[in-house]
């Protein structure tokens, strides 16, 4: 494999912050004044506001014409590499967001639909939600899904709320105050468990790459509310004891939750319910082709449960009565609301469209390609000087991700993983993802090939890593001062940490700069 | 390898490429790569999903389904109650739909500089509307913002009770209850609901004083409140909270802030609210988004669960870039010891909202606030003139108001059914959530409603109640 790397230069617009732009009196949008009849009837607007509540100053927003605003943000969009290079951001499952799905989701039949409309006027939206529910049931074996959570973390919180309600219904919530996770469970699981009021017990990995059964048995008790785990983890290691884990937790009266964030490698191969899990979640904004929107959403954490837990799900649920769909809010054991309304219905629509385009065959193939591509990349990456792999002694093929380390290169050259990230962007490639905290492996990195990118793109990604390794060993300063071909240079160290200079708004920045001269 | 055409979304779905990759790693079949999964974990049959559709078939299929929706554009709608119809400039839609940031992860500030700048400008412009220096990246909704803010206040004060206005969106209150944890949990935050005056919709100050005590971490109220009323005792409420050693948390609709005081002016410590009115469509409820803002003090900054975007100098003199300040206190870094939790939110809507605020400018916010006030008051007054129709809180509201139909001897449900037959979506039915208000509906009137629209509504209501 020999790849010639292309020259790349990001657009450099030196675009001012928008609050530093404009001219007094310019307008970006106008509103017609109210009709004379209205004015005569109600008089001046200011008289309609209680005196104490009238704003005295004008907000110090910029004054710009419409094209000035439009082109400012188009220039900023140009300075966003996004997915145009190659983004193999591990655990995020970078996936094509089909344009047909965007076009459909932005039609007025969805954008102009109010969630409190009468059911009769939103049968289309409810049909999509219900049919997505049915397809996810088939993919997981669960009995009911709900789409209220606006992301995976919120779905994890939903699970914690459902767990509370389930144990409270048995009068055991006070006693069952512990949630068990592994150190490789995504941070949102321990974080939402703690925010929901549970104590968190974290199991560490043994040399096989997952915690031992004995470690689990040692912490499971009549205080166990639930386990929250993923499988495989983001090192590509699959825990083969998971059925036994679930059995042990069930025997102790706890619930088992499967965070299927890493579903790309196992979709069509296994189903959470058949392994014994009571609940699971899918990320519609990654696995199912809807956009992540800058790790920000709007996203959807689809949360599914067994029939035993279904009464506790957030309300309302979309149900089908013959040819009609309706919202069922008469659910006395429900945890109520996790987020307003039905969730991000437009994201559900995009995921529904993706699933209909892929079909069962396409989904199975996407899973195959993800795992094949990861193993293909592994061969190329491990051949690069300074790169090692987690659990080097585990010889079975990893699933859709592998965790690597640049520790050896750091020790030998001083170039760390953040330097590598910055330097990657000089080649028009999105910086690699390191790892969640804590870093079990030093100087980690975790590419996830997914099914979208072609072999040429994977080869180019590997070639960039190889080039940066060469540079680290021959000219480390080049890497340590990168990026060089980007829209801006790296931040000066220090300002971000000092409250007297750290500025999260333009007004704070002006004030702090004036204070320090 | 399957004998099917390559799928348009998957470059490596060409069998020959897969064979090249298999040959490269010396493996005979893809199946061999899945040996980690034990046999008894595997699904023993193919998935039963509906057949795959081509793009053309998919489009037709989705259009058939979507045609069963009848929207606020097809009808004349007066629904609000947590998500509202406002004009979205076409330029805002063009900006937010750019593929460049449609799907990217947040790369390092180097690769996604433009997206970071847009986000910083969102926080900065919202800071100008609020007159506050510290604004976090959006959270998922107003309800989640309020829930997080109450937990922030509990941590800041070390107390475990909060006083919450009872004239609140029941959905928001339900979320708050989930965030405040059930009584069985050790860190349960008890919620004391504060009554409103049935004549004015304003907070009952005596009930507020009675609700506060040594354990009160925060007082939470909204301007305007869920029932539409502008809470003009705001400064007094904040003063009462301060005396009790509690934080004042205020929820606002930022589209009102060209004409209504910023909450910082009347004593708010933490401000939360919605961002949906700032250039975001309804999206069947998927348009919601929330924010948290405070004074720029380290003790507040240390309790935010949100992402922060900071501006800073780069190593090149005179150049500025952006970073992710205080990420180390988030659950990404601290797991169960982080500040609540962080995760996917609605950062795409931050892009829409920053474009909207820049388009509006200071004069746009003043004018839209005035137009909304005039149109809403005109509509309320016209409806209130009808026989049997009463405006429950007839003065001091912003864009929503409560219309009572008790004397018409008709239920809101009946009236709305009849209006719907005329192509009108009446106000949100409050009769089950607020039984003390009788047969009442929450009507929303904004800049999009013309004089003719209001007359059409009044005529239709008159016809319905005369039946």
Estimate to the nearest angstrom the gap between the alpha carbon of B181 and the chain centroid: 21
Please give the Cα distance from B218 to B160 (Å, whole number).
9
- Chain A contact present for B199, CB below 8 A: no
Q: What average pLDDT does this structure show over B165-182?
A: 98
pLDDT reported for residue B110: 83
Question: What is the per-residue pLDDT for A236?
Answer: 96
The whole-angstrom distance between A364's CA and the closest CA on chain B is 9
Interface check B214 vs A, CB under 8 A: no
How far is Cα B314 from Cα B322, in angstroms, rounded to an integer? 9
In terms of domains, do B377 and B350 share one?
no
Burial A403-412 (b: 16+ CB within 10 A, else e): bbbbbebbee
At residue B246, φ and ψ (nearest 5 deg) are: -105, 155
Confirm if B453 and B461 have CB atoms less than 8 A apart: no
pLDDT(B31) > 80: yes
Q: In this predicted model, what pLDDT tens digit does every residue of B90-143 receive, in sequence order?
A: 999 999 999 988 876 777 788 999 999 999 999 999 999 999 999 999 999 999
Facing A45 at nearest CB: one of B4, B184, B259: B259
**Residue A244 C-beta-side C-alpha neighbours within 13 Å:** 11
Give the DSSP H or E segment for A281. Answer: strand A279-283
> A484: closest CA among A395, A422, A406?
A422
Question: Is residue A316 one of the residues assigned to a domain?
Answer: no
Whether residue B431 sits in one domain with residue B291: no
Contact A338 B178 (CB under 8 A): yes
d(CA B185, CA A173): 8
The alpha carbon of residue A132 is apart from the nearest alpha carbon of chain B, in Å, by 11
Residue B248 confidence (pLDDT): 98
**CB–CB of B279/B300 below 8 Å?**
no
Q: Distance (Å, rounded) from C-alpha A243 to C-alpha B41?
A: 8
Cα distance from B56 to chain A (closest Cα, Å)?
9
Instruction: Show pLDDT as tens, one digit a residue, over chain A (517 residues).
Output: 578 898 999 999 999 999 999 999 999 999 999 999 999 999 999 999 999 999 999 999 999 999 999 999 999 999 999 888 899 999 999 999 999 999 999 999 999 999 999 999 999 999 999 999 999 999 999 999 999 999 999 999 999 999 999 999 999 999 999 999 999 999 999 999 999 999 999 999 998 999 999 999 999 999 999 999 999 999 999 999 999 999 999 999 999 999 999 999 999 999 999 999 999 999 999 999 999 877 678 999 999 999 999 999 999 999 999 999 999 999 999 999 999 999 999 999 999 999 999 999 999 999 999 999 999 999 999 999 999 999 988 889 999 999 999 999 999 999 999 999 999 999 999 999 999 999 999 999 999 999 999 999 999 999 999 999 999 999 999 999 999 999 999 999 888 889 999 999 999 999 999 998 6
Q: Do B12 and A372 touch (CB under 8 A)?
A: yes
Q: Are residues B277 and B222 in the same domain?
A: yes
What integer pLDDT is reported at residue A395 of this predicted model? 87
* Cα distance between residue A133 and residue A301, in whole Å: 12
Contact status of A333 with chain B (Cβ, < 8 Å): no
Does residue B205 fall inside a structural domain? yes
For tokens 């412009």, name the residue. B125
Same domain as B373, residue B345: no
What span, in angstroms and rounded, lies between the C-alpha atoms of A314 and A300? 14
Position B384 pLDDT exceeds 80: yes
Q: Which residues touch A408 (CB under 8 Å, ≥6 apart)?
A: A386, A387, A388
- Whether residue A192 and residue B341 make contact (CB cut-off 8 A), yes or no, is yes
Which of B322, B356, B390 is at the close of a domain?
A: B356
The verdict on B352 and B368 lying in the same domain is no
Cβ–Cβ contact B2 with A under 8 A = yes
Mean pLDDT (whole number) for B63-79:
98
Asked if B260 lies within 8 A of A53 by C-beta distance, the reply is yes
Contact yes or no for B357/B278 (Cβ under 8 A): yes
B296 shares a domain with B198: yes
Answer yes or no: do B408 and B453 share one domain. yes
Cβ atoms within 10 Å of A52's Cβ, excluding its own: 14
Q: Is B24 on the interface with A (CB under 8 A)?
A: yes
Asked whether residue B108 is assigned to any structural domain, the reply reads yes
Q: Which residue of B has its CA nearest to A501?
A: B312
Query: Number of structural domains, chain A?
Result: 1
Residues B374, B321, single domain; the answer is: no
Distance from CA of A474 to the nearest CA of B (A): 23
A269 is a domain residue: no
In a domain, A311, yes or no: no
Largest pairwise CA distance in chain B: 84
Which residues of B32-160 form beta strands (DSSP E)?
A: 76-77, 134-135
pLDDT tens by residue, B232-258: 999 999 999 999 999 999 999 999 999
Q: How many domains does chain B have?
A: 3
Residue B188 pLDDT greater than 80, yes or no: yes
Range of the domain at B34: 11-57
pLDDT for residue B2 is more than 50: no
Cβ-defined contact of B331 to A188 (cutoff 8 Å): yes
CATH number at residue B332: 3.40.640.10
Q: φ, ψ for residue A321 (rounded to 5)? A: -120, 100
Q: Which of B128, B171, B234 sits opposite A60 (nearest CB)?
A: B128
Q: Which residues contact B202 (CB under 8 A, 6 or more apart)?
A: B196, B229, B231, B232, B233
Give a yes or no: residue A65 inside a domain.
yes
Given the cut 0.90, state whether the ipTM is greater than it. Answer: yes
DSSP category for residue B10: -
Query: Same domain, yes or no, for B285 and B142?
Result: yes
Beta bridge partners of B76: B424
Tell me how far apart the alpha carbons of residues B131 and B116 are, in angstroms, rounded to a whole number.
22
Nearest C-alpha neighbor of A50 from the set B210, B259, B17, B367: B259
- Cβ(A427)–Cβ(A294) below 8 Å: no
| Rounded Cα–Cα distance for residues A338 and A333 (Å) | 14
In a domain, B281, yes or no: yes
Query: Are B339 and B399 contained in the same domain?
Result: no
Do B420 and B274 belong together in one domain? no
In a mutational test of the B interface, the residue from A82, A106, A136, A364 whose CB has the highest number of chain B CBs within 10 Å is A82
How far apart are the C-alpha atoms of B239 and B248, rounded to whole Å? 9
- What are the b/e assignments for B356-369, b being 16+ CB within 10 Å? bbbbbbbbbbbbbb
Contact map slice: A 137-196 vs B, CB within 8 A: 138-139, 150-154, 156-157, 161, 164, 168, 173-174, 177, 187-188, 190-196
Which pLDDT belongs to residue B1?
A: 43
**CB neighbour list of residue A323: distance below 8 Å, 6 or more residues apart:** none
With respect to residue A317, please indicate whether it lies within any of the assigned structural domains: no
Distance from CA of A387 to the nearest CA of B (A): 18
Q: For residue B438, what pLDDT is reported?
A: 98
Give the domain range for residue A40.
Answer: 18-78
Cβ proximity of B354 and B115 under 8 Å: no
Q: Nearest 5°: phi and psi at A317?
A: -105, 150
Is residue B218 helix, strand or coil?
strand
Q: Which residue of B has its CA nearest to A103?
A: B59
Contact residues, A window 266-295, toward B, CB-based 8 Å cutoff: 266, 268-271, 274-275, 285, 289, 291-295
What are the distances in angstroms from CA A400 to CA A279, A287, A378, A403, B67? 23, 12, 11, 10, 39
DSSP A133-179: HHHHHHHH--SEEE---SSHHHHHHHHHHHHHHHHHHTT-TTT--EE
Cβ–Cβ contacts within 10 Å for residue B46, how many?
10
> Residue B380 domain-assigned?
yes
Residue B4 falls inside a structural domain: no
Q: Are residues B44 and B117 in the same domain?
A: no
Asked if residue B67 belongs to a domain, the reply is no
Chain A residues in contact with B335 (beta carbon < 8 A)? 187, 190-191, 200, 202, 437
Residue B3 lies in a domain: no
Q: Is A198 inside a domain boundary?
A: no
Give per-residue pLDDT as tens, B201-236: 999 999 999 999 999 999 999 999 999 999 999 999
Please report, in angstroms and rounded to a whole number, the separation of the first and last CA atoms in chain B: 69
In Å, what is the CA distance from B262 to each residue of A55, B150, B246, B369?
7, 20, 20, 13
């Amino acid at each position: 494999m020999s790849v010639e790397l292309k020259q790349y230069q990001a657009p450099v617009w030196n675009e001012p912050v928008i609050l530093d732009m404009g001219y007094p009196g310019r307008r970006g949008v106008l509103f017609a004044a109210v009709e004379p009849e209205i004015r005569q009837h109600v008089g001046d607007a200011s008289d309609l506001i209680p005196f104490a509540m009238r704003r005295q100053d004008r907000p110090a927003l910029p004054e710009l014409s419409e094209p000035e605003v439009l082109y400012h943000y188009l220039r900023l969009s140009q300075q966003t590499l996004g997915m145009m290079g190659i983004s193999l951001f591990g655990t995020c499952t970078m996936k094509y967001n089909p344009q047909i799905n965007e076009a459909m989701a932005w039609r007025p039949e969805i954008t102009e639909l109010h969630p409190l409309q009468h059911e009769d006027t939103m049968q289309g939206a409810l049909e999509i939600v219900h049919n997505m529910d049915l397809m996810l049931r088939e993919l997981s074996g669960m009995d009911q899904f709900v789409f209220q959570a606006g992301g995976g973390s919120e779905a994890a919180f939903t699970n914690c709320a459902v767990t509370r309600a389930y144990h409270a219904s048995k009068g055991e919530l006070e006693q069952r105050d512990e949630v068990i996770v592994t150190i490789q469970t995504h941070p949102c699981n321990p974080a939402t468990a703690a925010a929901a009021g549970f104590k968190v017990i974290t199991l560490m990995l043994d040399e096989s790459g997952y915690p031992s059964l004995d470690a689990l048995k040692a912490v499971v008790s009549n205080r166990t509310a639930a386990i929250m785990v993923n499988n495989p983890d983001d090192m590509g290691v699959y825990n083969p004891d998971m059925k036994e884990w679930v059995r042990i937790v069930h025997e102790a009266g706890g619930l088992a939750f499967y965070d299927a964030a890493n579903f790309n490698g196992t979709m069509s191969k296994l189903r959470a319910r058949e392994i014994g899990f009571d609940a699971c979640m899918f990320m519609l904004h990654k696995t199912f082709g809807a956009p992540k929107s800058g790790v920000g959403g709007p996203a959807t954490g689809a949360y599914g449960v067994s029939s035993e837990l279904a009464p506790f799900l957030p309300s309302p649920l979309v149900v089908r009565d013959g040819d009609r769909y309706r919202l069922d809010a008469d659910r006395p054991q429900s945890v109520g609301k996790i987020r307003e309304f039905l969730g991000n219905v437009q994201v559900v629509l995009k995921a529904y469209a993706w699933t209909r385009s892929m079909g069962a065959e396409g989904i199975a193939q996407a899973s195959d390609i993800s795992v094949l591509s990861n193993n293909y990349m592994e061969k190329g990456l491990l051949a690069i000087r300074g790169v090692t792999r987690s659990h080097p002694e585990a010889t079975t093929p990893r699933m859709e991700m592998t965790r690597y380390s640049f520790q050896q290169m750091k020790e030998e050259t001083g170039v760390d993983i953040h330097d590598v990230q910055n330097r990657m962007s000089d080649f028009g490639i999105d910086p690699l993802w390191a790892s969640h905290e804590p870093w079990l492996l030093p100087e980690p990195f975790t590419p996830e090939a997914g099914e979208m990118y072609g072999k040429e793109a994977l080869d180019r990604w590997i070639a960039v890593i190889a080039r940066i390794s060469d540079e680290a060993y021959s000219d480390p300063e080049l890497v340590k001062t990168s990026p060089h071909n980007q829209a801006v240079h790296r931040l000066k160290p220090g300002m971000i940490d000092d409250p007297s200079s750290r500025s999260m708004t333009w007004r704070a920045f002006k004030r702090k700069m004036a204070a320090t001269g | 390898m399957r004998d099917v055409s390559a799928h348009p979304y998957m470059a490596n779905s060409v069998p020959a490429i897969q064979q090249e990759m298999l040959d490269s790693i010396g493996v005979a079949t893809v199946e061999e790569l899945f040996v980690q999964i034990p046999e008894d974990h595997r699904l023993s049959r193919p998935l039963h999903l509906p057949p795959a559709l081509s793009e053309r078939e998919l489009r037709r299929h989705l259009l058939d389904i979507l045609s069963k929706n009848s929207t606020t554009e097809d009808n004349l709608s007066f629904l609000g109650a947590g998500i509202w119809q406002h004009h979205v400039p076409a330029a805002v839609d063009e900006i937010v739909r750019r593929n460049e940031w449609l799907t990217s992860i947040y790369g390092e500030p180097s690769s996604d500089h433009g997206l970071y700048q847009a986000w910083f400008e969102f926080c900065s412009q919202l800071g100008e509307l609020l007159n506050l220096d510290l604004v976090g990246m959006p959270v998922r909704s107003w309800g989640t913002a309020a829930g997080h803010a109450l937990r922030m206040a509990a941590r800041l004060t070390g107390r475990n009770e909060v006083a919450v206005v009872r004239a609140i969106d029941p959905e928001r209150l339900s979320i708050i209850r989930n965030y405040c944890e059930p009584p069985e949990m050790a860190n349960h935050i008890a919620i004391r609901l504060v009554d409103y005056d049935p004549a004015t919709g304003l907070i009952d100050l005596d009930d507020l004083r009675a609700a506060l005590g040594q354990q009160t971490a925060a007082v939470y109220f909204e301007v305007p409140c869920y029932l539409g009323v502008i809470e003009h005792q705001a400064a007094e409420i904040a003063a009462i909270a301060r005396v009790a050693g509690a934080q004042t948390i205020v929820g606002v609709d930022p589209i009102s802030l060209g004409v209504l005081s910023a909450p910082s002016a009347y004593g708010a410590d933490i401000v939360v609210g919605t961002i949906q009115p700032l250039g975001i469509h309804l999206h069947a409820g998927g348009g919601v988004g929330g924010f948290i803002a405070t004074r720029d003090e380290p003790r507040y900054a240390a309790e935010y669960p949100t992402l922060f975007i900071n501006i800073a100098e780069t190593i090149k003199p005179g150049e500025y870039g952006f970073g992710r300040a205080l990420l180390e206190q988030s659950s990404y870094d601290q797991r169960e010891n982080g500040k609540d939790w962080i995760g996917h939110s609605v950062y795409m809507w931050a892009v829409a909202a920053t474009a909207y605020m820049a388009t509006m400018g200071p004069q746009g916010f003043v004018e839209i606030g005035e137009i909304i006030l005039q149109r809403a008051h005109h509509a309320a007054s016209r409806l209130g003139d009808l026989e049997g129709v009463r405006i429950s809180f007839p003065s001091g509201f912003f864009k929503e108001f409560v219309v009572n139909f008790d004397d018409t001897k008709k239920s809101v449900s009946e009236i709305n059914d009849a209006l719907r037959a005329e192509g009108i979506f009446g106000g949100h039915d409050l009769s089950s959530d607020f039984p003390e208000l009788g047969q009442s509906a929450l009507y929303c009137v904004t800049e999009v409603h013309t004089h003719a629209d209001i007359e059409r509504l009044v005529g239709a209501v008159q016809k319905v109640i005369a039946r």
